[in-house]
Structure 1
Amino acid sequence: MRDEVFKIIVGHGLADWGVAYHGVAGVPGFSCRLSDQALNRFASETLTDLDIDDPLLVPIVEIATGANMDTREIEPILWKICQSLSTDLIHSMRVWRAGSLEAVISTLESDPIYGLSELSGFWSNWGWPYDSPDCMSFEGSGLSVNEYYSDSNFARVLKEHEAWLDSEISILRTLGVSR
């Protein structure tokens, strides 16, 4: 699943070394790390932007050509790249959150009980951040349990999530990537 989310991130043009780092170091809701193939592909694509005397050439080539690299080997290399580029790792984690939410929405159960539970699980994994969609707060919503889990409320919540996601991706694009 992590590779699928990484593809979404790449598709939005939001992948950077911080995103790659978090893909290996850990992202809420995922138990596995980004695959070697995804890392190799990303590193290979960035090689074309480097000069032959760039100090990051060697570590990026290591990642581009590495196979079956252990997390203990690759994480420090990614960290070094991020530090050298002054990568905003908070921004990179927001990118993962947006990509992960897009993946969740695309596979969401159509049943309101299961769909709302999946969305709640998603936000729970991310620690209920302050900037999550307002609709995810059951408390203070004024809705009964039956109203909360209704088709109409689920449709409203889904629409609010889609709007939130569009806005978040737009903000992340504006902030840019540190490739």
Structure 2
Amino acid sequence: MINKIFNELEKFKIVDWGMLYLGCKGLPIGTLSPNNVSDFACEQLAIIELNDASFISVSELSFCTEINDEVIDIISKLCDLNNVDLTLSKKKWVVFSIKEFMNHLPEDSLYGPLELNNFWNEWGEPNNSQNVIQGVNNSMTPNEYYSDKNYLKIISDHNLWIKKELNELGI
């Protein structure tokens, strides 16, 4: 799934070295392939100057054939050189991952909220997530929480959140 989401992110031209760094270290949706790293590095080579401090590192990554500690270290250094905001990079991954995840939610009002809870739990429950857990900071009974009406509200709230986050990303 990570490669599908990465391709979607590339369409919007919002991929950065931080996203590669996080994707190579591994995310709940998987680990990026060496081809993703190589392709991105080749794209970057086409736009950076020959005398750019990152040129040699980017050149090395253009021949990436495996994700290992050396590759991750090079990408980490490129993040530092380019002052990449890893929080923003992670936000992009989360937004596009939940957007894709929403397309595959179960229709069942019992399993759907549970799947969403699992999603947010795997991503570390970002402070601004739309995750609502029955009985946590609310007085919803299990019958209320797992009702069809509440599930539709949860889906609607998530879709609004995605739209807001995409807007903040300039998409």
What TM-score comes out, normalization by structure 1 length? 0.86
Gaps of 5+ in 1: 175-179
Partners of 1:12 and 1:150 in 2: CA distance: 36
Question: Which whole-Å deviations, capped at 9, do the CAs of 1:93-134 have from their partners, x for residues lacking one?
Answer: 11111121112112212222221111100111122222112x
Alignment of 1:95-110 (within 5 A): 95-110=92-107
2:18–2:86 Cα contact (<8 Å) kept: yes
Residues 1:97 and 1:66: Cα distance change in structure 2 (over 3 Å):
same
Partners of 1:36 and 1:70 in 2: CA distance: 6
Aligned pair partner of 1:119 in 92, 116, 122? 116
Percent of pairs identical after alignment? 28
Paired position in structure 1 for 2:57: 59
Aligned pair partner of 1:79 in 76, 79, 92? 76
- The Cα shift of 1:137 comes to 3.5
Paired position in structure 2 for 1:164: 161
Paired position in structure 1 for 2:86: 89
1:24–1:34 Cα contact (<8 Å) kept: yes
2:19 aligned with 1:19: yes
How many residues are matched? 170
Paired position in structure 2 for 1:177: none
Partners of 1:110 and 1:154 in 2: CA distance: 9
1:14–1:173 Cα contact (<8 Å) kept: no
- The Cα shift of 1:143 comes to 2.9
- The Cα shift of 1:173 comes to 3.0
Partners of 1:125 and 1:47 in 2: CA distance: 34
Paired position in structure 1 for 2:34: 36
- The Cα shift of 1:9 comes to 2.1
What TM-score comes out, normalization by structure 2 length? 0.90
2:3–2:33 Cα contact (<8 Å) kept: yes
Indicate the RMSD between aligned Cα atoms, in angstroms: 1.8
Gaps of 5+ in 2: none
Partners of 1:117 and 1:66 in 2: CA distance: 38
- The Cα shift of 1:146 comes to 2.2
